[in-house]
Structure 1
Amino acid sequence: MSDTAAPAPAPGHHTQLWSVDDHLADILAAVRPLDPIELQLPDAQGCVLVEDVTVPVALPPFDNSSMDGYAVRTADVSGATEEFPAVLTVIGDVAAGSGSLPEVGPGQTARIMTGAPLPPGAEAVVPVEWTDGGAGGGAVTSMRPAAGGGPGGASGEVRVYRSAQARAHVRSRGSDVRAGDLALEAGTVLGPPQIGLLAAIGRDRVRVRPRPRVVVLSTGSELVQPGEQLGAGQIYDSNSFALTAAARDAGAIAYRVGAVTDDAQTLRATIEDQLIRADMVVTTGGVSVGAYDVVKEALSSVGDEDEAGSGIDFRTLAMQPGKPQGFGSIGRDHTPLLALPGNPVSSYVSFELFVRPAIRALMGLKDVHRPMVRATLATDKPLSSPSGRRQYLRATYDAEAATITPVGGAGSHLVAALAHADALIVVPEDSVSVQPGTEVDVVLIG
């Protein structure tokens, strides 16, 4: 953090120019991971594990068949061919879930289904396609367990047309994971495969940090909800939709609040009503120096005004787009609040740079940042950038060629170009021009 940056945000308005890095550092220093809770598996999806999980039982817990076929002794099928098949006596069926297993002796076999335990005495499984299926004629390609599905359910003989090596088509006990192995380590985000593994080893609940609840609301009397009729001077509210989707993409449970008019009392009451379900509040619009920028006025007394440490700091950042920013905490629980500018591109870029890392920090993740790569600028003319400001330009990234191509112009209202971008070109504060072919830093947002 630079000498000009405060160690923590303080209420009020500052005229100094803050760097992107200092502003982000203040946010991350103030945001603490949510307290762990225990959740059942279906509710833990998307959460971050806070404990190492070890395997209590091996997977699979017993030797089992990977095919429908016949469990055999290898000596009994050695040298078997189409012309000279091995003829074995079928002593029973072994279905998945079977408890009582027949013992396979010399010259014998048990019909076995996929996933069923390998019966004692058997050393391998020959697929049903390698046999006549017990029909005494041509090969068959499917099996059905006999009525009862247990030992003694099948009888007669089967012809086997190929030999089998020991352990052929057998899934060995512990071949996936062994008892005592580390299944998942703390810090893992629980997606579908991880949830499946936890269930497979018998865990019905886990200790995690919950997904943060993020409330998103936009401000502006000119905003109309999509689907409604536009009046004179009105535009559709896109920010709340984009940022709510972005919050969900970051891992949060996000709630969108319809646009609030430019009235400080209404905005204050709306935010206070939302605090009961918010681990973070994100506002968009009303943070610059306009006559109707009511966010500053509203947030000056939202929640518990007497709670020490609460308050929002409004700052001017050395960046483009997204120069006006606000950050602090509100209410008795010191709920983090990030106030973003209202222009669509400014709002979204600000979310990527500041809100997304804050959400990831609430989740307890170690790496909260988007990936950054180096790429060659693929453009016909130089890029211009304002002196003293870090510029973020929308672009498309070609990973194979390691090139980056700008999309649209630099205007903060050009939302169509943003919809086609999957990356942001980063132009440093000390650069006013970037030549084609230059290597630049690129933030991947796609």
Structure 2
Amino acid sequence: MVSIEEAQQTILEFITPLDAETVPVFQGLNRVTPQDHVAPWDIPAADYSAMDGFAFSRAALAGNRLKVTGFLPAGETCNVPVPPGEAIRIMTGAPIPPGCDTVVPIEEAEAEGEWIALSAIKAGSNVRKRGEDIRHGNVVIPAGSLLRPQEIGMLSAMGYTSLPVYRRARVAILSTGDELLEPGSTPRPGKIINSNSYSLAAQVLDAGGEPVLLGIAQDSYAAVCDKIKTGLDQDMLVISGGASVGDRDFVKAAIEGLGGSVNFWKVNMKPGKPLAFATLKGKPIFALPGNPVAAMVSFELFVRTALLKAMGHRRVLRPKVAAFLEEPVMNKGSRPHMVRCIVSKQDNGYHASTTGNQSSGRLSSLVQGNGLVRLEPSASHVAGEMIDVLLMDQEFEMGMMAQAHL
């Protein structure tokens, strides 16, 4: 068996970024750019008024009264200098006219017919300087950046209507087993519903990839081979079930029979021990356990990281937080145990509690939780102890990141 870290390293060393495609700028959201984006001009392109008010020269102000001699709305320019001792009424976003360096807001100026009276105001107030946001020629969004709404807005401000991004990974998903029925069927003795294909497809979507469902392969060498060959049309293939050592577990034999190479088979972890990573015709293949929880946890630790790297992401691992344990936990086994838990943010920090029974067939242990605690072999932790938690819930992750920036 290989360790979790060895398995992740082996996978990531094989994965290389996919090619890029050009998309409309707003469709670059949550994608990664493969190139630097350089500012083609200053932003703002000129000195602009930051307020509705009156523009004038603070240096030429004598006393506290100015005569208002014109009006400049946003979208227009004024090339005639404003004489010393005079002001021009100006709207937010209008360029500062020649002869002016300061704007007083309307509410801070007292109107007296054609004149305004001012209180004390600092030179340069309420003026957005040319290039104060972005300077022409600067790298604004470097290669490898994840494009969030704010990056999309900046790219639009820089004049982009389309841009290159790494292509979304297309992931073929296959479940194996004569016992499986598709959703919509009624379970009966000896038969269960195929939930793995759909939970794994959702995990692919959550990571930004495109799932391609291959259905169910019956428990025969020929059927598994046929489905694997079909899956090679996509960028990656994820198989659940059939990777263990049972009489009808044909996945490993089928991969090797088709000329593939199994890089490792079995990972030192619980749940998820019967897990294989293979390559066939240059395509990565992940053979995951058939138990629902084991399949999803294995995806989180291994497939998701590969997907993100393939799509150009620099950060491929979920974040961790240190949390106070709400209850004692222990691992009596000889393998690291990925325990499903509930993480919450409280006044004194993060807190974590387990989701109860940790059977790898109990999908509700994941439904109830949003994190994973790694318990090392023979480890024992008491209530109140701090422990690292891997966050699986994307919404919780974003909330945590926002808190960190407050």
TM-score (norm 1): 0.77
CA pair 128-224 structure 1, distance change in 2 beyond 3 A: farther
1:385 is matched with: 332
1:129 is matched with: 107
C-alpha displacement of 1:343? 1.2
Q: Give the conservation status (yes or no) of the 8 Å contact 1:37–1:207.
A: yes
2:237 is matched with: 281
Look up the SS of the partner of 1:320 in the other structure. coil
C-alpha displacement of 1:48? 2.5
Alpha-carbon separation, structure 1, partners of 2:262 and 2:121 = 73
* 1:89 partnered with 2:68: yes
Alpha-carbon separation, structure 2, partners of 1:371 and 1:89 = 58
Residue by residue over 1:249-285, the C-alpha shift from the partner in whole angstroms, topping out at 9 and shown as x without a partner, is 3232333444444455444434433433x22121222
* 1:230 partnered with 2:214: no
Which structure: larger Rg? 1
Q: Give the conservation status (yes or no) of the 8 Å contact 2:217–2:223.
A: yes
* 1:421 partnered with 2:400: no
C-alpha displacement of 1:354? 0.9
1:326 is matched with: 276
2:396 is matched with: none
C-alpha displacement of 1:374? 4.3
Structure 1 runs not aligned, ≥5 long: 1-16, 81-85, 137-156
Alpha-carbon separation, structure 2, partners of 1:264 and 1:79 = 94
Residue by residue over 1:204-250, the C-alpha shift from the partner in whole angstroms, topping out at 9 and shown as x without a partner, is 45454333222333333444444x24131443333222222222332
**Kindly, what percent of the aligned residue pairs are identical?**
35
Alpha-carbon separation, structure 2, partners of 1:69 and 1:267 = 74
Look up the SS of the partner of 1:49 in the other structure. coil
C-alpha displacement of 1:340? 0.7
* 1:65 partnered with 2:49: yes
CA pair 79-251 structure 1, distance change in 2 beyond 3 A: farther
Q: Give the conservation status (yes or no) of the 8 Å contact 1:50–1:207.
A: yes
Alpha-carbon separation, structure 1, partners of 2:379 and 2:246 = 28
Alpha-carbon separation, structure 1, partners of 2:67 and 2:176 = 80
Look up the SS of the partner of 2:299 in the other structure. helix
* 1:394 partnered with 2:350: no
Match of 1:340 among 288, 310, 334: 288
Residue by residue over 1:267-307, the C-alpha shift from the partner in whole angstroms, topping out at 9 and shown as x without a partner, is 4434433433x221212222223344343454344xxx46x
Match of 1:316 among 252, 255, 266: 266
Look up the SS of the partner of 1:357 in the other structure. helix
Q: Give the conservation status (yes or no) of the 8 Å contact 2:373–2:390.
A: yes
Alpha-carbon separation, structure 2, partners of 1:72 and 1:318 = 73
Alpha-carbon separation, structure 1, partners of 2:119 and 2:379 = 75
Q: Give the conservation status (yes or no) of the 8 Å contact 1:77–1:164.
A: no
* 1:404 partnered with 2:404: no
Q: Give the conservation status (yes or no) of the 8 Å contact 2:21–2:165.
A: yes
Alpha-carbon separation, structure 2, partners of 1:79 and 1:217 = 81
1:151 is matched with: none
Match of 2:133 among 144, 162, 176: 176
Q: Give the conservation status (yes or no) of the 8 Å contact 2:358–2:365.
A: no
Look up the SS of the partner of 2:10 in the other structure. helix
Q: Give the conservation status (yes or no) of the 8 Å contact 1:91–1:108.
A: no
CA pair 374-67 structure 1, distance change in 2 beyond 3 A: closer
CA pair 224-111 structure 1, distance change in 2 beyond 3 A: farther
Alpha-carbon separation, structure 2, partners of 1:164 and 1:412 = 69
Q: How many residues align?
A: 390
Alpha-carbon separation, structure 1, partners of 2:329 and 2:206 = 33
1:12 is matched with: none
Look up the SS of the partner of 1:397 in the other structure. strand
**Deviating more after overlay: 66-75 vs 113-122:** 66-75
* 1:112 partnered with 2:68: no
C-alpha displacement of 1:43? 4.2
C-alpha displacement of 1:394? 0.6
Look up the SS of the partner of 1:74 in the other structure. coil
Match of 2:17 among 33, 40, 61: 33
Alpha-carbon separation, structure 2, partners of 1:199 and 1:382 = 51
Alpha-carbon separation, structure 1, partners of 2:9 and 2:23 = 31
Q: Give the conservation status (yes or no) of the 8 Å contact 1:427–1:440.
A: no
2:124 is matched with: 167
Q: Give the conservation status (yes or no) of the 8 Å contact 2:66–2:87.
A: no
Alpha-carbon separation, structure 2, partners of 1:267 and 1:160 = 85
Residue by residue over 1:38-78, the C-alpha shift from the partner in whole angstroms, topping out at 9 and shown as x without a partner, is 55533433333333333232211100111223323336877
CA pair 373-87 structure 1, distance change in 2 beyond 3 A: closer
Look up the SS of the partner of 2:232 in the other structure. helix
CA pair 126-376 structure 1, distance change in 2 beyond 3 A: closer
CA pair 218-113 structure 1, distance change in 2 beyond 3 A: farther
CA pair 64-318 structure 1, distance change in 2 beyond 3 A: same
Alpha-carbon separation, structure 2, partners of 1:23 and 1:91 = 71
TM-score (norm 2): 0.83
Alpha-carbon separation, structure 2, partners of 1:224 and 1:90 = 80
Structure 2 runs not aligned, ≥5 long: 394-406
Q: Give the conservation status (yes or no) of the 8 Å contact 1:131–1:158.
A: no
Q: Give the conservation status (yes or no) of the 8 Å contact 1:218–1:284.
A: yes
Instruction: Note the aligned Cα RMSD (angstroms).
Output: 3.0
CA pair 79-240 structure 1, distance change in 2 beyond 3 A: farther
C-alpha displacement of 1:22? 2.5
CA pair 428-231 structure 1, distance change in 2 beyond 3 A: closer
